[in-house]
Amino acid sequence: MTLTPLTIYLAAPRGFCAGVVRAIKIVELALEKWGAPVYVRHEIVHNKFVVDGLKDKGAIFVEELDDCPDDRPVIFSAHGVPKTVPAAAAKREMVYVDATCPLVSKVHIEAERHSQNGLQMVMIGHDGHPETVGTMGQLPEGEVLLVETPADVATLTVRDEEKLAYITQTTLSIDDTAGIVEALKARFPAIIGPHKEDICYATTNRQHAVKAIAPKADAILVIGAPNSSNSKRLVEVGAAAGCQYSQLVQRAKDIDWRALDGIKSLGLTAGASAPEVLMDEVIAAFRERYDVTVDIIETAEENVEFKVPRVLRETA
């Protein structure tokens, strides 16, 4: 049987970012240091395959600190947590390790600095996303106002139009965020923004790679979890950049083959919390059905590395 030719345009960079690598390593080193079980508040990163792998090694995932015993270590996820969480852990004299991505921590520090200077914060983010909850929780109630769309800007009630600053969730769409920032600056000309965009390097790079692939591809598949903000943004970016079929899949088994019938080219990428092993699995599934040629489209090189907290470096 002759297989139909298919060109796969493979995005580079794709998959794990430095913050995700660090967060996973923190859980693994904590298990080495303290033995199982180690508790993790919220999914360490938004990927079922990764979470299941850590569960197998002895990590127990919970949603709240109340679900953890006092006598076992607890790790806070890469998305960051409100200030009340480490405070509650300290009060209970728990051993805790914060796996918040350093780029998210940078936004937390920024928000605090602005607040100390008497500015009220506007956060561009997704309501209920753990990163948004964590960032807003750095400051007292009412000090951070959330906007999700340019339309939200019109209805904002602020304390003082002259004393405002904005921050953003790190995993947003660059283009969508630009529209919201424009609306904020138009309504509040005095608003202060970050020196450098809060959207992280990995989110930005993965979106640029998808934009480069989209015009060439009959379809785009993004490997990632349905609760992963950066993965969902990649799907949207692919569609906005001109690819009519842009979809999220968790694993090879989730691919809708009928929808891909007749394609000659496919764009492939993975969200920042999806491991490369899942990409290999998807490519293998295509090789079974097509005569595949892989063409890597590289739009940036990444060599960022983040250290794990000192308490774990001591044993490493």
Contact between 73 and 127 (Cβ < 8 Å): no
Q: How far apart are CA 58 and CA 63, in angstroms?
A: 17
From the candidates 28, 43, 110, 131, which is the catalytic residue? 131
Rounded to whole angstroms, how far apart are CA atoms 308 and 251?
29
268 within 8 A of 221, measured Cβ to Cβ: yes
Round to whole Å and give the CA distance between 232 and 247. Answer: 9
Return the HEC string of 28-72: HHHHHHHCCCEEEECCCCCCHHHHHHHHHHCEEEECCHHHCCCCC
Distances (CA, A) of 308 to 19, 78, 97, 155: 10, 12, 10, 41
Q: How many CA atoms lie within 13 A of 35 on its CB side?
A: 1
d(CA 281, CA 79): 27
| Residue 114 structure tokens | 């602005």
| Cα separation, 108 vs 142, whole angstroms | 16
- In order of 8, 25, 137, the CA distances from 55 in angstroms are 33, 14, 28
Is there a catalytic annotation at residue 131? Answer: yes
Tell me the Ramachandran region of residue 118: left when phi exceeds 0, alpha when psi lies from -120 to 50, beta otherwise.
Answer: left
Element spanning 170, H or E: none
Cα 272 to Cα 74, 155, 167, 233: the distances in Å are: 23, 33, 21, 11
**Do the Cβ atoms of 9 and 269 come closer than 8 Å?**
no
Residues with catalytic function: 131
